[in-house]
Amino acid sequence: MKLTLRKKIVLSIIIACVAFGATLAVVTYYYISNVLVNEKTNTIGQLGFEKVREIDQILSNNQLFVKMLATRTRVKEFLLDKTEARRFELLNIFSDYAKEDTKYLAIYLLDEKGNTLISTDNRFNGQNYSFRDYFKKAKNKESSVDVFIGKTSNEFGYYFAHPVLSGEGRFVGVMVVKIDSKSIDDSIMNSEVSKDGSVMATDENGVIIFSNKPNRLFKSLGNLSVSKKEQIASTEKFLGKEIVPIQYDEAQQIINNYTKPETLSIFDTIDNEKEILNVTKLDQFPFYLVMEIGLEDVEGKVFKVTMILVLIILTGLILMSFIIYKFVSIIIKPLKELKAFSQKISSGDFSERIKINTSDELNDLAKSFNDMTDKLSGLYDKLEQKVKERTEKLEKSEVELKHALLEEERVNKIMVGRELEMIKFKKEIAELKNKK
């Protein structure tokens, strides 16, 4: 297919614009995607940090409360001299706290052997909890916070424990406060991430103790070793529930080898989408906050922005093509005139002159064409004059030649006549000689 110069120029520019537009769209897509992902990563990291500080403060307040109870003089006196009057007095004090704030599911006191002496929940009285980690830590004069399903109450909650020491610093018992998990869970739920993502809290083993997705509760983030499973089972924290893993092995490894908060990008095979996961440990407690945000909305925004950009580019291309077409038409017009002018010259018509006022190379070319036409016209006129002169000479020579030929013919006739007369004369002489 033959393409005109105008079509070639327009087509070349359109191809260049399409290539540029496609490159720009791809670069924009990846750039915006990278910016939004980084923004999401920074946001989830900041939210994790802020939420951990908030939860840390709540737990610290409750830990301070149990420490306050454990260091009360009446508690020490009762454990050293267990009279009914002192037991009744402490029970009233504990009960007043439980009535004042319903988050306290149970406030109870254990002796040095782990037996429950006083409790606001009668089910706890007489029970031995020496197998609990909080009791073992208290014997080592350590305060602790743990979370599990109560063996007696079958209720899930946070257990704050603090050792009770005598005046000489001897371990004499443990003060324990069981708190409803809702008071802490509500704080975790009150997060921007929970609106369009998921929030989880785990214990030191990576077992999920809270999630805004209930089906994840009491499951581990990733696969646990056999020894770890046996250790968890021995604590009876989850009453023999089988701890099965979900799909976050990377997060599980972060908890197993925790050094600092980490944010990672993963592909969730269950949700079938890319996600950003942040793991942050509480400063003073053996719990981890895990926040998860899907990137589906990011990809949607990036796709939307890219499509808008593509539409803008296409609109620009259409407008640009129209402008280029008109502009090229203006540029090509003098070339068309030059083409028509050259065709007249090739046919021998030197009467016209081309006028192009573009103040550029085309104007110079038009002047060159005009100069060439002037020269060709002069040469053609001289050539015609010479042809005319030669024609006249040839015609004159032809007339002279005809006259010369006629004269020669006449002379030849005379000579032939003389020759014939001579032959006749010789013949007559010969005849006379014969007669003699």
pLDDT of the residue at 410? 76
> Highest mean pLDDT: which of 239-243, 359-363, 420-424?
239-243
The secondary structure element, H or E, covering residue 278 is: strand 273-281
Strands 273-281 and 262-268: antiparallel
> Highest mean pLDDT: which of 119-123, 191-195, 232-236, 428-432?
119-123
The mean pLDDT value for 90-103 works out to 94
Using pLDDT thresholds of 50, 70 and 90, give the confidence band for residue 3: low
Report the 3 state secondary structure along 141-155. Answer: CCCEEEEEECCCCCC
Q: Give the tens place of pLDDT for each residue, 318-349.
A: 787 777 777 777 776 776 676 776 777 777 66
pLDDT at 197 over 90: no
Q: Which sequence spans correspond to the domains of the chain?
A: 71-184, 350-436
pLDDT at 186 over 90: no
Tokens in use for 346? 């090739």
| Domain 71-184 listed as CATH 3.40.50.300 | no
pLDDT at 2 over 70: no
Mean pLDDT of the chain: 83
Lowest mean pLDDT among 131-135, 273-277, 339-343: 339-343
CA distance readout (Å), 421 to 389, 407, 411, 417, 418: 48, 21, 15, 6, 5
Which runs of consecutive H residues, i.e. helices, occur in 165-295? 182-189, 193-196, 226-235, 249-256
> Does the model's pTM come out above 0.85?
no
Q: Give the tens place of pLDDT for each residue, 28-87.
A: 777 777 777 777 778 788 888 888 898 999 999 999 999 999 999 999 999 999 999 999
> Highest mean pLDDT: which of 115-119, 223-227, 230-234, 362-366?
115-119
Closest Cα partner for 134 from 105, 166, 173, 102? 173
